Amino acid sequence: MADFVIDDTVDITDVVCPVTFVKAKVALEELDEGQVLAIRMNDGEPVQNVPRSIKEEGHQILKLNTNEDGTYTLIVKKVGE
Amino acid sequence: MAEVDYGTLKKGGFMRQKQKDNFSLRLAVVGGTLTAENLKKIAEVAERYGDGYVHLTSRQGVEIPFIKLKDIEEVKDSLAEGGCKPGVCGPRVRTVTACQGSQICPSGNIDTTDIAQKLNDRYFGRELPHKFKFGVTGCQNNCLKAEENDVGIKGALDVKWKEEACINCGVCAKACRENAITIEDGKVVVDYDKCNFCGRCVKSCPTDAWDANSAYIVSFGGTFGNSIYKGEDMLPLITTEEQLFRVTDAAIQFFADNAKPSERFRFTIDRVGKDKLYKVLKEAYDG
Protein backbone atom coordinates (compact mmCIF):
# COMPACT_ATOMS: atom_id res chain seq x y z
CA MET A 1 0.00 0.00 0.00
CA ALA A 2 3.05 2.17 0.32
CA ASP A 3 2.85 3.00 -3.38
CA PHE A 4 -0.17 5.23 -2.94
CA VAL A 5 -0.99 8.23 -0.77
CA ILE A 6 -4.32 7.38 0.83
CA ASP A 7 -6.57 10.37 1.56
CA ASP A 8 -9.34 8.45 3.31
CA THR A 9 -10.34 4.92 4.17
CA VAL A 10 -13.69 3.18 4.48
CA ASP A 11 -14.48 -0.24 5.90
CA ILE A 12 -17.35 -2.03 4.22
CA THR A 13 -16.80 -5.40 5.90
CA ASP A 14 -19.61 -4.63 8.36
CA VAL A 15 -22.33 -4.41 5.68
CA VAL A 16 -23.72 -6.69 2.96
CA CYS A 17 -24.60 -6.24 -0.70
CA PRO A 18 -25.91 -3.83 -1.92
CA VAL A 19 -24.98 -1.60 1.01
CA THR A 20 -21.30 -2.45 0.45
CA PHE A 21 -21.28 -0.46 -2.76
CA VAL A 22 -23.47 2.31 -1.36
CA LYS A 23 -21.14 2.82 1.58
CA ALA A 24 -18.12 2.96 -0.74
CA LYS A 25 -19.91 5.35 -3.07
CA VAL A 26 -20.84 7.70 -0.22
CA ALA A 27 -17.21 7.73 0.96
CA LEU A 28 -16.07 8.59 -2.56
CA GLU A 29 -18.58 11.42 -2.78
CA GLU A 30 -16.91 13.08 0.18
CA LEU A 31 -13.55 13.21 -1.57
CA ASP A 32 -12.30 15.74 -4.09
CA GLU A 33 -11.36 14.74 -7.61
CA GLY A 34 -7.98 13.05 -7.71
CA GLN A 35 -8.01 12.01 -4.04
CA VAL A 36 -7.49 8.36 -3.20
CA LEU A 37 -9.78 6.15 -1.12
CA ALA A 38 -8.88 2.79 0.42
CA ILE A 39 -11.88 0.47 0.72
CA ARG A 40 -11.59 -2.55 2.98
CA MET A 41 -13.91 -5.37 1.92
CA ASN A 42 -14.62 -9.03 2.53
CA ASP A 43 -13.83 -11.98 0.30
CA GLY A 44 -16.63 -13.46 -1.82
CA GLU A 45 -19.36 -11.29 -3.24
CA PRO A 46 -17.93 -7.90 -2.18
CA VAL A 47 -14.55 -8.44 -3.84
CA GLN A 48 -16.21 -9.98 -6.91
CA ASN A 49 -18.64 -7.12 -7.43
CA VAL A 50 -17.61 -3.89 -5.74
CA PRO A 51 -14.54 -3.17 -7.91
CA ARG A 52 -16.66 -3.56 -11.04
CA SER A 53 -19.36 -1.24 -9.69
CA ILE A 54 -16.73 1.37 -8.80
CA LYS A 55 -15.34 1.10 -12.34
CA GLU A 56 -18.83 1.50 -13.83
CA GLU A 57 -19.21 4.71 -11.79
CA GLY A 58 -16.18 6.01 -13.67
CA HIS A 59 -13.57 6.00 -10.91
CA GLN A 60 -10.03 4.77 -11.40
CA ILE A 61 -9.00 1.59 -9.64
CA LEU A 62 -5.31 1.55 -8.79
CA LYS A 63 -4.81 -1.68 -6.89
CA LEU A 64 -6.43 -4.52 -5.00
CA ASN A 65 -4.36 -5.54 -1.98
CA THR A 66 -4.77 -8.82 -0.14
CA ASN A 67 -4.72 -8.38 3.63
CA GLU A 68 -3.45 -10.94 6.11
CA ASP A 69 -6.86 -11.27 7.76
CA GLY A 70 -8.51 -12.51 4.52
CA THR A 71 -10.01 -9.15 3.63
CA TYR A 72 -9.03 -6.99 0.66
CA THR A 73 -8.27 -3.32 0.27
CA LEU A 74 -9.22 -1.65 -2.99
CA ILE A 75 -7.37 1.56 -3.77
CA VAL A 76 -9.48 3.95 -5.83
CA LYS A 77 -8.79 7.38 -7.25
CA LYS A 78 -11.83 9.60 -7.48
CA VAL A 79 -12.75 10.75 -10.98
CA GLY A 80 -15.26 13.58 -11.44
CA GLU A 81 -16.88 15.92 -8.94
CA MET B 1 -72.16 -18.57 -39.53
CA ALA B 2 -69.56 -20.06 -41.90
CA GLU B 3 -67.41 -23.05 -40.94
CA VAL B 4 -64.68 -21.96 -38.58
CA ASP B 5 -61.23 -23.22 -39.44
CA TYR B 6 -59.72 -23.31 -35.97
CA GLY B 7 -56.44 -24.72 -37.25
CA THR B 8 -55.85 -21.71 -39.47
CA LEU B 9 -56.92 -19.31 -36.75
CA LYS B 10 -54.56 -20.94 -34.27
CA LYS B 11 -51.72 -20.79 -36.76
CA GLY B 12 -52.50 -17.09 -37.12
CA GLY B 13 -52.30 -16.47 -33.38
CA PHE B 14 -55.99 -16.67 -32.53
CA MET B 15 -56.22 -18.94 -29.51
CA ARG B 16 -59.63 -20.44 -28.89
CA GLN B 17 -61.06 -19.56 -25.50
CA LYS B 18 -63.40 -21.51 -23.25
CA GLN B 19 -66.02 -18.90 -24.08
CA LYS B 20 -67.61 -19.77 -27.42
CA ASP B 21 -66.58 -17.59 -30.38
CA ASN B 22 -64.04 -15.74 -28.26
CA PHE B 23 -60.33 -15.77 -29.03
CA SER B 24 -57.26 -14.67 -27.20
CA LEU B 25 -55.19 -13.02 -29.91
CA ARG B 26 -51.48 -13.66 -29.62
CA LEU B 27 -49.27 -10.95 -31.10
CA ALA B 28 -45.88 -11.30 -32.69
CA VAL B 29 -43.21 -9.92 -30.35
CA VAL B 30 -39.49 -10.20 -31.05
CA GLY B 31 -37.07 -10.28 -28.16
CA GLY B 32 -39.61 -8.80 -25.76
CA THR B 33 -39.56 -5.42 -27.46
CA LEU B 34 -42.64 -3.37 -28.37
CA THR B 35 -42.67 0.26 -29.41
CA ALA B 36 -44.86 2.89 -27.77
CA GLU B 37 -46.81 2.98 -31.03
CA ASN B 38 -47.41 -0.80 -30.81
CA LEU B 39 -48.55 -0.48 -27.20
CA LYS B 40 -50.99 2.33 -27.95
CA LYS B 41 -52.60 0.30 -30.71
CA ILE B 42 -52.72 -2.81 -28.52
CA ALA B 43 -54.44 -0.81 -25.77
CA GLU B 44 -56.91 0.61 -28.27
CA VAL B 45 -57.76 -2.83 -29.70
CA ALA B 46 -58.09 -4.35 -26.21
CA GLU B 47 -60.58 -1.64 -25.24
CA ARG B 48 -62.53 -1.64 -28.46
CA TYR B 49 -62.63 -5.33 -29.38
CA GLY B 50 -61.52 -7.17 -26.25
CA ASP B 51 -62.29 -6.92 -22.57
CA GLY B 52 -60.04 -3.93 -21.86
CA TYR B 53 -56.94 -5.83 -20.75
CA VAL B 54 -54.01 -7.86 -22.12
CA HIS B 55 -52.24 -10.95 -20.84
CA LEU B 56 -48.44 -11.10 -20.84
CA THR B 57 -47.42 -14.66 -21.67
CA SER B 58 -44.61 -16.65 -20.10
CA ARG B 59 -42.46 -16.12 -23.21
CA GLN B 60 -42.62 -12.35 -23.63
CA GLY B 61 -45.73 -12.43 -25.77
CA VAL B 62 -48.85 -10.31 -25.54
CA GLU B 63 -52.33 -11.77 -25.90
CA ILE B 64 -55.54 -9.78 -26.18
CA PRO B 65 -58.35 -11.97 -24.81
CA PHE B 66 -62.06 -11.84 -25.70
CA ILE B 67 -61.67 -10.97 -29.37
CA LYS B 68 -64.92 -11.94 -31.11
CA LEU B 69 -64.93 -14.23 -34.13
CA LYS B 70 -66.85 -11.67 -36.19
CA ASP B 71 -64.24 -8.97 -35.53
CA ILE B 72 -61.13 -10.96 -36.47
CA GLU B 73 -60.43 -9.32 -39.83
CA GLU B 74 -61.15 -5.86 -38.48
CA VAL B 75 -58.85 -6.47 -35.53
CA LYS B 76 -56.02 -7.62 -37.80
CA ASP B 77 -56.37 -4.51 -39.95
CA SER B 78 -56.51 -2.24 -36.93
CA LEU B 79 -53.41 -3.80 -35.37
CA ALA B 80 -51.52 -3.51 -38.64
CA GLU B 81 -52.02 0.27 -38.49
CA GLY B 82 -50.03 0.26 -35.25
CA GLY B 83 -47.30 -1.96 -36.69
CA CYS B 84 -48.53 -5.08 -34.86
CA LYS B 85 -48.88 -8.52 -36.35
CA PRO B 86 -50.58 -11.66 -35.03
CA GLY B 87 -48.20 -14.26 -33.60
CA VAL B 88 -48.25 -18.01 -34.09
CA CYS B 89 -49.12 -21.15 -32.21
CA GLY B 90 -48.93 -24.84 -33.14
CA PRO B 91 -46.10 -26.83 -34.76
CA ARG B 92 -43.80 -24.10 -35.95
CA VAL B 93 -41.07 -21.70 -34.81
CA ARG B 94 -42.46 -19.65 -31.94
CA THR B 95 -41.70 -16.25 -30.46
CA VAL B 96 -37.97 -15.60 -30.24
CA THR B 97 -37.31 -14.37 -26.71
CA ALA B 98 -34.41 -12.21 -25.53
CA CYS B 99 -33.16 -10.18 -22.60
CA GLN B 100 -32.11 -6.57 -23.24
CA GLY B 101 -28.50 -7.55 -23.93
CA SER B 102 -25.40 -5.46 -24.40
CA GLN B 103 -27.20 -2.41 -25.82
CA ILE B 104 -28.79 -1.74 -22.42
CA CYS B 105 -27.42 -4.05 -19.73
CA PRO B 106 -23.92 -3.57 -18.27
CA SER B 107 -23.61 -7.36 -17.95
CA GLY B 108 -24.52 -8.08 -21.58
CA ASN B 109 -21.93 -9.76 -23.78
CA ILE B 110 -23.91 -9.82 -27.03
CA ASP B 111 -26.54 -7.69 -28.76
CA THR B 112 -29.43 -10.02 -28.00
CA THR B 113 -32.06 -7.78 -29.60
CA ASP B 114 -30.23 -7.88 -32.91
CA ILE B 115 -29.66 -11.64 -32.75
CA ALA B 116 -33.33 -12.23 -31.82
CA GLN B 117 -34.45 -10.11 -34.77
CA LYS B 118 -32.17 -12.02 -37.14
CA LEU B 119 -33.39 -15.38 -35.81
CA ASN B 120 -36.96 -14.13 -36.20
CA ASP B 121 -36.36 -13.04 -39.80
CA ARG B 122 -34.76 -16.38 -40.54
CA TYR B 123 -37.15 -18.80 -38.86
CA PHE B 124 -40.29 -17.29 -37.32
CA GLY B 125 -43.40 -19.28 -38.19
CA ARG B 126 -41.44 -21.97 -40.07
CA GLU B 127 -43.52 -25.14 -40.24
CA LEU B 128 -42.00 -28.04 -38.33
CA PRO B 129 -43.09 -31.36 -36.79
CA HIS B 130 -43.66 -29.65 -33.43
CA LYS B 131 -43.19 -26.30 -31.72
CA PHE B 132 -39.66 -24.95 -31.75
CA LYS B 133 -38.40 -22.22 -29.41
CA PHE B 134 -35.41 -19.95 -29.53
CA GLY B 135 -34.24 -17.86 -26.60
CA VAL B 136 -31.32 -15.44 -26.44
CA THR B 137 -29.69 -14.37 -23.19
CA GLY B 138 -26.88 -11.83 -22.99
CA CYS B 139 -24.64 -13.37 -20.37
CA GLN B 140 -24.16 -16.11 -17.79
CA ASN B 141 -26.60 -14.46 -15.40
CA ASN B 142 -29.05 -16.13 -17.79
CA CYS B 143 -32.05 -13.89 -17.08
CA LEU B 144 -33.66 -15.27 -20.23
CA LYS B 145 -33.13 -18.93 -19.22
CA ALA B 146 -31.50 -20.06 -22.48
CA GLU B 147 -31.50 -23.78 -21.66
CA GLU B 148 -35.32 -23.91 -21.44
CA ASN B 149 -35.45 -23.50 -25.20
CA ASP B 150 -35.12 -25.97 -28.06
CA VAL B 151 -32.18 -23.81 -29.09
CA GLY B 152 -30.80 -21.44 -26.48
CA ILE B 153 -28.13 -18.82 -27.19
CA LYS B 154 -26.04 -17.35 -24.41
CA GLY B 155 -23.71 -14.40 -24.78
CA ALA B 156 -20.07 -14.97 -23.91
CA LEU B 157 -16.76 -13.17 -24.22
CA ASP B 158 -13.72 -14.70 -25.82
CA VAL B 159 -10.98 -13.12 -23.71
CA LYS B 160 -7.25 -12.58 -24.03
CA TRP B 161 -5.12 -10.64 -21.57
CA LYS B 162 -3.37 -7.48 -22.85
CA GLU B 163 -0.18 -7.16 -20.89
CA GLU B 164 0.66 -3.62 -22.00
CA ALA B 165 -2.55 -2.15 -20.57
CA CYS B 166 -2.51 -4.12 -17.30
CA ILE B 167 -1.68 -2.33 -14.04
CA ASN B 168 -1.51 -5.61 -12.18
CA CYS B 169 -4.21 -4.58 -9.69
CA GLY B 170 -5.48 -8.13 -9.15
CA VAL B 171 -9.20 -7.37 -9.51
CA CYS B 172 -9.77 -9.86 -12.35
CA ALA B 173 -8.47 -12.81 -10.35
CA LYS B 174 -11.06 -12.09 -7.67
CA ALA B 175 -13.88 -11.25 -10.08
CA CYS B 176 -13.48 -14.66 -11.74
CA ARG B 177 -15.92 -17.14 -10.22
CA GLU B 178 -14.31 -20.14 -11.90
CA ASN B 179 -10.88 -19.60 -10.36
CA ALA B 180 -9.49 -19.58 -13.88
CA ILE B 181 -7.21 -16.57 -13.33
CA THR B 182 -3.96 -16.56 -11.41
CA ILE B 183 -1.34 -13.87 -11.27
CA GLU B 184 2.16 -15.22 -11.63
CA ASP B 185 5.16 -12.86 -11.51
CA GLY B 186 3.01 -9.91 -12.50
CA LYS B 187 1.45 -11.77 -15.41
CA VAL B 188 -2.22 -12.68 -15.66
CA VAL B 189 -2.57 -16.36 -16.53
CA VAL B 190 -5.92 -17.69 -17.74
CA ASP B 191 -6.66 -21.39 -17.46
CA TYR B 192 -8.91 -21.81 -20.49
CA ASP B 193 -10.00 -25.26 -19.31
CA LYS B 194 -11.68 -23.55 -16.36
CA CYS B 195 -12.76 -20.34 -18.13
CA ASN B 196 -16.51 -20.27 -18.85
CA PHE B 197 -16.25 -17.10 -20.97
CA CYS B 198 -18.57 -15.13 -18.67
CA GLY B 199 -16.53 -11.96 -19.20
CA ARG B 200 -16.48 -10.85 -15.55
CA CYS B 201 -12.72 -10.30 -15.78
CA VAL B 202 -13.26 -7.88 -18.65
CA LYS B 203 -16.20 -6.08 -17.04
CA SER B 204 -14.29 -5.54 -13.82
CA CYS B 205 -10.92 -4.56 -15.32
CA PRO B 206 -10.11 -0.91 -14.48
CA THR B 207 -7.91 -0.43 -17.55
CA ASP B 208 -9.69 -2.67 -20.07
CA ALA B 209 -6.57 -4.78 -20.37
CA TRP B 210 -8.34 -7.51 -22.31
CA ASP B 211 -9.07 -8.23 -25.93
CA ALA B 212 -12.67 -9.33 -25.69
CA ASN B 213 -14.86 -10.48 -28.54
CA SER B 214 -18.52 -11.39 -28.41
CA ALA B 215 -19.12 -15.10 -28.63
CA TYR B 216 -21.97 -17.57 -28.23
CA ILE B 217 -22.66 -20.66 -26.18
CA VAL B 218 -25.53 -22.61 -27.70
CA SER B 219 -27.67 -25.26 -26.03
CA PHE B 220 -29.89 -27.81 -27.75
CA GLY B 221 -33.00 -29.73 -26.73
CA GLY B 222 -34.33 -27.77 -23.80
CA THR B 223 -38.00 -28.09 -22.90
CA PHE B 224 -39.91 -26.87 -19.89
CA GLY B 225 -43.45 -28.14 -20.27
CA ASN B 226 -44.91 -31.57 -19.58
CA SER B 227 -41.37 -32.88 -19.54
CA ILE B 228 -38.50 -30.86 -18.23
CA TYR B 229 -35.02 -31.09 -19.71
CA LYS B 230 -32.17 -28.66 -19.76
CA GLY B 231 -30.75 -27.89 -23.19
CA GLU B 232 -27.22 -29.21 -23.65
CA ASP B 233 -24.23 -27.30 -24.83
CA MET B 234 -22.33 -29.58 -27.24
CA LEU B 235 -19.96 -27.35 -29.18
CA PRO B 236 -16.84 -25.33 -28.44
CA LEU B 237 -17.27 -21.56 -28.18
CA ILE B 238 -18.88 -20.02 -31.26
CA THR B 239 -16.98 -16.89 -32.17
CA THR B 240 -18.77 -15.31 -35.13
CA GLU B 241 -22.33 -14.56 -36.08
CA GLU B 242 -21.95 -16.46 -39.38
CA GLN B 243 -20.85 -19.53 -37.46
CA LEU B 244 -23.79 -19.11 -35.07
CA PHE B 245 -26.34 -19.08 -37.87
CA ARG B 246 -24.67 -22.04 -39.60
CA VAL B 247 -25.17 -23.97 -36.37
CA THR B 248 -28.78 -22.85 -35.81
CA ASP B 249 -29.58 -23.67 -39.46
CA ALA B 250 -28.14 -27.15 -38.96
CA ALA B 251 -30.07 -27.70 -35.71
CA ILE B 252 -33.44 -26.71 -37.12
CA GLN B 253 -32.82 -28.73 -40.29
CA PHE B 254 -31.91 -31.77 -38.20
CA PHE B 255 -35.24 -31.37 -36.41
CA ALA B 256 -37.17 -30.89 -39.68
CA ASP B 257 -35.52 -33.96 -41.22
CA ASN B 258 -35.70 -36.32 -38.27
CA ALA B 259 -38.55 -35.44 -35.91
CA LYS B 260 -41.81 -37.38 -35.86
CA PRO B 261 -44.99 -35.33 -35.76
CA SER B 262 -45.58 -33.89 -32.26
CA GLU B 263 -42.10 -34.81 -31.08
CA ARG B 264 -40.07 -32.11 -29.36
CA PHE B 265 -36.42 -31.61 -30.30
CA ARG B 266 -35.19 -33.24 -27.09
CA PHE B 267 -36.98 -36.51 -27.87
CA THR B 268 -35.78 -36.49 -31.47
CA ILE B 269 -32.23 -36.11 -30.19
CA ASP B 270 -32.72 -38.97 -27.71
CA ARG B 271 -34.33 -41.24 -30.30
CA VAL B 272 -32.03 -40.52 -33.26
CA GLY B 273 -28.88 -40.14 -31.20
CA LYS B 274 -26.95 -37.27 -29.73
CA ASP B 275 -23.87 -38.35 -31.68
CA LYS B 276 -25.75 -37.89 -34.97
CA LEU B 277 -26.82 -34.39 -34.01
CA TYR B 278 -23.31 -33.59 -32.83
CA LYS B 279 -21.87 -34.67 -36.18
CA VAL B 280 -24.23 -32.36 -38.07
CA LEU B 281 -23.61 -29.48 -35.70
CA LYS B 282 -19.85 -29.90 -35.72
CA GLU B 283 -19.81 -29.86 -39.53
CA ALA B 284 -21.76 -26.60 -39.46
CA TYR B 285 -19.48 -25.26 -36.74
CA ASP B 286 -16.40 -26.04 -38.83
CA GLY B 287 -18.07 -24.64 -41.97
Q: Phi and psi (nearest 5°) for A30? A: -80, -10
Task: Compute the average pLDDT of residues A43-65.
Answer: 93
| Nearest-by-CA chain A residue for B168 | A63
Distance CA B157, CA B173 (A): 16
DSSP state of B115: H
Domain locations in chain B as residue ranges: 6-81, 97-156+213-286
Contacts of B174 in chain A (CB under 8 A): 43, 47-48, 51, 64, 72
Q: Using the predicted structure, report yes or no on whether residue B11 has a pLDDT greater than 90.
A: no
Residues 6+ apart with CB under 8 A from B187: B161, B163
The CATH class for the domain spanning A8-77 reads alpha beta
Domain locations in chain A as residue ranges: 8-77
Q: Phi and psi (nearest 5°) for B192? A: -70, -10
Q: Is A67 on the interface with B (CB under 8 A)?
A: no
* Binary contact (B175, A72; C-beta < 8 A): no
Q: Using the predicted structure, report yes or no on whether residue B99 has a pLDDT greater than 60.
A: yes
Q: pTM of this prediction?
A: 0.91
CATH 3.30.413.10 fits B97-156+213-286, yes or no: yes
Res A1: pLDDT: 47
Contacts of A71 in chain B (CB under 8 A): none
**What's the length of chain A?**
81
Q: Is A9 on the interface with B (CB under 8 A)?
A: no
Res B48: pLDDT: 98
More confident residue, B7 or B249: B249
DSSP result, B210-243: EEEEEEEEEEE--EESSSEE--EE-SSPB-SHHH
CATH 3.30.70.3340 fits B6-81, yes or no: yes
Res A73: pLDDT: 96
Tell me if B62 sits within 8 A of B42, measured CB to CB. Answer: yes
Contacts of B200 in chain A (CB under 8 A): 48, 52
B227 to chain A, closest Cα gap in Å: 35
Does A18 sit behind a cis peptide bond, omega within 30 degrees of 0 on the bond before it?
yes
Radius of gyration of chain B (CA): 22
Q: Is A64 on the interface with B (CB under 8 A)?
A: yes
